[in-house]
Structure 1
Amino acid sequence: MSSAVYIVGAGPGDPDLLTVKAQKILAVADVILFADSLIPEEILHLCREDAEIIRTANKTLEEIIALMVARVRSHKSVVRLQNGDPSLYSAVHEQMQLLAEANIPFEIIPGISAFQAASAKLKIELTVPGLVQTIILTRISGRTEVPAREELATLAAHQASLCLYLSARHIENAQAKLLEHYPDETPIAICYRIGWPDEKIMVVPLSEMAEYTHKENLIRTTLYLISPALSPVKGRCATPHQRRSRLYHPEHSHIFRSSHHEEIETGFDKLK
């Protein structure tokens, strides 16, 4: 393993959801920097017993970068272990910029995001044919402002499967903006600490979104799924035939499979 920084997605909390590549890297890395407020310590059991473990919850970006740069320049392999997937709300952009400026090689190892783990727990597909074919991953403005063109009410107008991150502290505002475009009874899933032993998942009408959040005192690590695809959970599912994908339909052909009708016609041609 070369002297470099490996930015590894640890997933939402369940150590079993780490990729095989992430596990292999953790098993041999010299140094592990991990966000201890967001990542369960069980994941550290995958690391070398003599690996240097550095907790970063109380450190600034500059301090974290300085540590990584110093270790790599000392010819050590460094893992920057982050929750979820590095491509989403992980502050990885500025880390990559600073590492590049310091001429430190780095690699990114993707991880499972909370919206994927939540949909698996709920046993739903967020892109159901004839119902919804778009997924929007977003957040509401808080300490980090959202560009005006990505304002929540604007995105809600699509009535897609909307995955709302980092918004529990502003839930009344979020609910109001969503209600501008989604019906009151739209089922939403409130997902708290997905993949952790104390996870909570509740499907409620959109009109009760803020009420439930306050009732359960959810102020962080909460994901909201707002989607027509949740309808089956509330008993409002169309028939399987109406929502069937064309991919495996007997009348659908592609380069690996002829359609049922094409096979019949080919058979008749051979008999002629």
Structure 2
Amino acid sequence: MKGKVVFIGGGPGDPELLTVKAYNVIKTADVIIYAGSLVNREVLDCAREDALIYNSASMNLDEIIEVMREETDKGKLVARVHTGDPAIYGAIGEQMEDLRRLEIPFELIPGVSSLFATAAALETELTLPEVSQTVIITRPEGRTPKPAGESISSLAEHGATMCIFLGVHMIDEVVSDLRVHYPAKTPVAVVQKASWPDEKIVRGTLEDIAVKVMESGIEKTAMIVVGDVLGASHVTPSKLYDRTFTHEYRKGSE
């Protein structure tokens, strides 16, 4: 009987942010392949003592797929643990393509993204009424190219809340692109290792955030958040809980 591969969102770092479903798979898996450069090793503390554990940080795609093929051919359950939620910059597309080609069954379990751990660390709502109702998730172009029209400077034209992965090491270039459309006084926050014990937060504006980040020593594993939601002095209440607002579950009062 053929085994199965389960792609798991391992969460942003805090082991308690692992979903119950993901926990149950890790706890029973015969084989675990985890992204050791990003995933908190404590997420695997619930694994069986006899589970085979591979750190994919030192493996290439062919090696990862070969382990999956060999172990599922033996009927084994393979847990492929990615950081955050694997749907965002998780590099799972090519793995799933290979598994389909090899006719290896797989499923996906979503996880808590570092994006949302960052919002929690900042104690902010990313979509405040009358401030921003849109969140743009992106990254700067590096060795991985971006499609035309998805440059940070182009996306900045919307003025929405923007969450930028994988860009803190080039904070000067990111700020330069953002300032094409965002005012210089737009608030910015950088959160390194959100939800980890050594989480670090740096706040500023587009005028000074680059200097503050460099002074902080943050060079990787950090999220950049930009937008007026970070500096809102007053929150306009939503209609959902407005006592005068009628909806399917409640009649509003005058």
TM-score range, shorter chain: over 0.9
1:60 alignment counterpart: 60
Equivalent residue letter for 2:188: I
1:249-260 counterparts in 2 under 5 A?
249-260=242-253
Matching residue's letter, 2:60? T
Secondary structure of 1:247's aligned partner: helix
> Which moves more between the two structures, 19-28 or 178-187?
178-187
- Please tell me the residue identity of whatever aligns with 2:113: S
Tell me the residue number matched to 1:155: 155
Offset at 1:246? Answer: 0.4
Greater displacement, 5-14 / 208-217: 208-217
> Matched residue of 1:124: which SS?
coil
Aligned residues: 253
Tell me, in whole angstroms, the C-alpha distance in 2 between the residues paired with 1:40 and 1:178. Answer: 31
Rg (Cα) greater in structure = 1
Deviation sequence 1:219-260 (CA, Å, 0-9, x none): 22111010211114xxxx13x4xx110011112111111121
Quick check: 128-137 or 188-197, which moved more?
Answer: 188-197
Task: Quote the residue 2:116 is aligned against.
Answer: 116
How many angstroms apart in 2 are the aligned matches of 1:57 and 1:32? 13
Residue 148 of structure 1: SS of its match in structure 2? coil
Aligned match of 2:90: 90
Q: Which residue of 2 aligns with 1:222?
A: 222
How big is each residue's C-alpha offset from its partner over 1:41-77, in whole Å with a ceiling of 9 and x where there is no partner? 1111111111111111111011101111111111100
Matches of 2:81 and 2:196 in 1, distance apart?
Answer: 17
Distance 2:98 2:208 in 1: 43
Aligned equivalents of 1:18, 1:52: Cα separation in 2:
20
What is the aligned partner in structure 2 of residue 129 from structure 1?
129
Are the aligned partners of 1:32 and 1:81 in contact in 2 as well (CA < 8 Å)? yes
1:150 offset after TM fit, Å? 0.8
Of the structure 1 ranges 68-77 and 191-200, higher mean CA displacement relative to structure 2 is found in: 191-200
Shift of 1:169: 2.4
What is the letter of the counterpart of residue 146 of structure 1? K
Please list every run of 5 or more consecutive structure 1 residues that lacks an aligned counterpart in the other structure. Answer: 262-272
TM-score by length of 2: 0.96
SS in 2 for 1:127: coil
**Normalising by the residue count of structure 1, what TM-score does the alignment of the two structures yield?**
0.90
SS in 1 for 2:144: coil
What's the RMSD between the two structures over aligned residues? 1.2
Gaps of 5+ in 2: none
Q: Is the 8 A contact 1:142 1:170 kept in 2?
A: no
2: CA distance between counterparts of 1:101 and 1:25? Answer: 24
Flag as ranges the 4+ runs of structure 1 deviating above 6 A. none
Larger mean Cα displacement after TM superposition, 190-199 or 132-141: 190-199
AA of the residue aligned to 1:215: E
SS in 2 for 1:220: coil
How far apart, CA to CA, are the structure 2 residues paired with 1:89 and 1:209?
24
